């Protein structure tokens, strides 16, 4: 056991800094300059009507979605209702190039009237992916989603388009 721990301490990446999956590596240099930080999901007011309840960001993912070399943030947001499984909204956040500019919502990928909960949120190669949990009928209790599907969105032609996936909706 001690040998494994010692070996693990010696094995280090050759160069650079480890980067989380789906997050572009930071770059520096005279030609490119440092890469901008992804927008902070906690610094945004979301267009989500919670009827007095607080909003909760449950997941985020970052990456360059529109190919401009600057990362955007995708945030899964829901009302903090205290019981059941409140639906999520998925928002894309960006920050203007000006120093000190606040992040802002530029797109809604999933809205709460769709009554789905987003899990497994990722951004990779410009594609937003989430597992969506929902309900097969109004009789299903809101705390027990019974439908699961994979959803993907990609920036194309000046807007986000949802891509069809091989997996169809299935019971969970």
pLDDT, position 70 = 92
The model's confidence at residue 36, banded by pLDDT at 50, 70 and 90, is confident
For 105, the domain range is 35-171
Place of tokens 């299935």: 170
Would residue 81 count as lying in a domain?
A: yes
pLDDT, position 94 = 95
Overall number of domains in the chain: 1
Give the 3-state DSSP-derived string for the chain, with helices as H, strands as E and coil as C: CHHHHHHHHHCCCCCCCCCCCCCCCCCCCCCCCCCCCCCCHHHCCCCCCCCCCCEEEEEEEEECCCCCCCCEEEEEEEECCCCCCCCEEEEEEEECCCCCCCEEEEEEEECHHHCCEEEEEEEECCEEEEEEEECCCCCCCCCCCCEEEEEEEEEECCEEEEECCCCCCEEC
Would residue 20 count as lying in a domain?
A: no
Would residue 51 count as lying in a domain?
A: yes
pTM of the entire predicted model: 0.75
pLDDT tens for each residue of 8-18: 333 333 322 22
Would residue 26 count as lying in a domain?
A: no
Would residue 128 count as lying in a domain?
A: yes
pLDDT, position 35 = 64
pLDDT, position 34 = 53
pLDDT, position 14 = 30
Listed ranges 79-83, 141-145, 147-151, 167-171; the one with the highest mean pLDDT: 147-151
pLDDT, position 22 = 36
């Amino acid at each position: 056991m001690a040998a494994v721990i010692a070996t693990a301490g010696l094995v280090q990446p050759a160069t650079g800094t480890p980067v989380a999956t789906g997050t572009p590596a930071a770059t520096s240099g005279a030609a490119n300059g440092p890469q901008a930080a992804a927008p902070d999901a906690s610094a945004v007011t979301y267009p989500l009507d919670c009827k007095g309840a607080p909003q909760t960001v449950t997941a985020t993912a970052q990456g360059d979605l529109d190919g401009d070399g600057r990362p955007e943030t995708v945030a899964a947001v829901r009302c903090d209702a205290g019981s059941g499984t409140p639906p999520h909204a998925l928002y894309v956040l960006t920050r203007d190039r000006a120093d000190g500019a606040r992040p802002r919502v530029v797109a809604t990928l999933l809205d709460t009237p769709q009554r789905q909960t987003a899990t497994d949120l990722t951004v990779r190669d410009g594609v937003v992916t989430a597992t969506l949990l929902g309900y097969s009928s109004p009789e299903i209790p809101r705390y027990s989603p019974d439908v699961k599907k994979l959803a993907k969105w990609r920036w194309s032609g000046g807007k986000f388009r949802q891509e069809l996936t091989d997996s169809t909706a299935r019971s969970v």
